[in-house]
């Protein structure tokens, strides 16, 4: 496989990884706003770890493939995984403890978070061992979009920008939502529930963030294409 093709494939893997993290964050945000269940302090740590896990792929897409970018995700995955492990141990210490929050396929969300962090850490480690993308001198999807066909180039740029914006918007929502819950002091261990949006309003609100990200990414991709055409 040529280095250029390896970079193209690596970008698709990074985009897919970001979509996976977005799916996890969407579930936690729906639980907060759609169901009304506020995140505990360890939940906030895990959300922060998810955002940090996304930093590596975002940097890879914007500035080119680098082992250092994957290393940032690995460190974030370790921190987030420590938060998940801590919460799991807190709840299994008491056999009568039902756990915090709802279950999904028999596991609580903090258990699924640990699985997500483990997959992210192992995945990044494997990608670091794949040296071909690093030899291509990749400078990011906007400087060297790759692809032999115009529609492929446009699709990759649009997808990359969309997932980057979606994660960024989620980060803003997560950050702002902490203020009313915690204020300037420590977050409560068992925060009270708030008035939920309900079904399906909660999911619509969460997915609306993705729609906005897709529209903004499309506008940015068209602007990039017009700039490239003018400079050609």
Task: Convert the pLDDT of each residue in 80-137 to its tens digit.
Answer: 999 999 999 988 877 777 877 778 888 888 999 999 999 999 999 999 999 889 988 8
Q: Which two tokens stand for residue 212?
A: 């906005």
Instruction: Quote the pLDDT of residue 224.
Output: 83
| CB-CB contact of 39 with 191 (8 Å) | yes
How confident is residue 3, by pLDDT bands cut at 50, 70 and 90?
confident
Instruction: Quote the pLDDT of residue 66.
Output: 94
User: CA 31 to CA 55: how far, in whole Å?
Assistant: 24
Number of neighbouring beta carbons within 10 Å of residue 184: 5
Instruction: Quote the pLDDT of residue 188.
Output: 85
Task: Convert the pLDDT of each residue in 134-189 to its tens digit.
Answer: 988 888 988 876 655 777 888 889 999 999 999 999 999 888 888 888 877 888 88
User: CA 53 to CA 112: how far, in whole Å?
Assistant: 15
Instruction: Check residue 32 and report its DSSP letter.
Output: I
User: CA 34 to CA 205: how far, in whole Å?
Assistant: 8
Q: Which two tokens stand for residue 58?
A: 């975002």
Instruction: Quote the pLDDT of residue 61.
Output: 95
Mean pLDDT (whole number) for 14-20: 95
Task: Convert the pLDDT of each residue in 205-216 to its tens digit.
Answer: 889 999 999 999
Is the dihedral angle over the CA atoms 70, 172, 170, 62 positive or is it negative?
Answer: negative
Task: Convert the pLDDT of each residue in 40-87 to its tens digit.
Answer: 889 889 999 999 999 999 999 999 999 999 999 999 999 999 999 999
More confident: 83 or 228: 83
Q: For the chain, what are the domain ranges? A: 3-231
């Amino acid at each position: 496989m040529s280095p250029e093709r390896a970079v193209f494939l690596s970008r698709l893997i990074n985009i897919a990884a970001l979509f996976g993290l977005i799916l996890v964050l969407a579930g936690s945000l729906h639980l907060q706003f759609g169901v009304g269940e506020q995140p505990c302090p360890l939940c906030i740590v895990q959300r922060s770890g998810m955002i940090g896990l996304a930093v590596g792929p975002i940097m890879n897409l914007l500035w080119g493939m680098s082992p250092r970018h994957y290393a940032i995700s690995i460190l974030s995955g370790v921190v987030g995984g420590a938060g998940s492990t801590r919460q799991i141990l807190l709840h299994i210490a008491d056999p009568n403890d039902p756990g915090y929050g709802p279950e999904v396929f028999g596991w609580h969300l903090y258990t699924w978070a640990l699985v997500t962090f483990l997959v992210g850490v192992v995945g990044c480690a494997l990608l670091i061992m794949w040296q071909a993308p690093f030899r291509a001198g990749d400078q990011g999807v906007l400087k060297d979009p790759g692809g032999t066909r115009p529609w492929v180039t446009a699709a990759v740029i649009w997808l990359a920008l969309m997932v980057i914006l979606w994660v960024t918007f989620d980060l803003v929502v997560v950050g702002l939502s902490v203020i009313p819950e915690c204020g300037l002091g420590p977050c409560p261990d068992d925060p009270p529930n708030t008035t939920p949006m309900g079904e399906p309003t909660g999911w619509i609100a969460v997915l609306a963030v993705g729609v906005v990200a897709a529209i903004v990414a499309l506008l940015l991709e068209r602007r990039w294409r017009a700039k490239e055409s003018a400079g050609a």
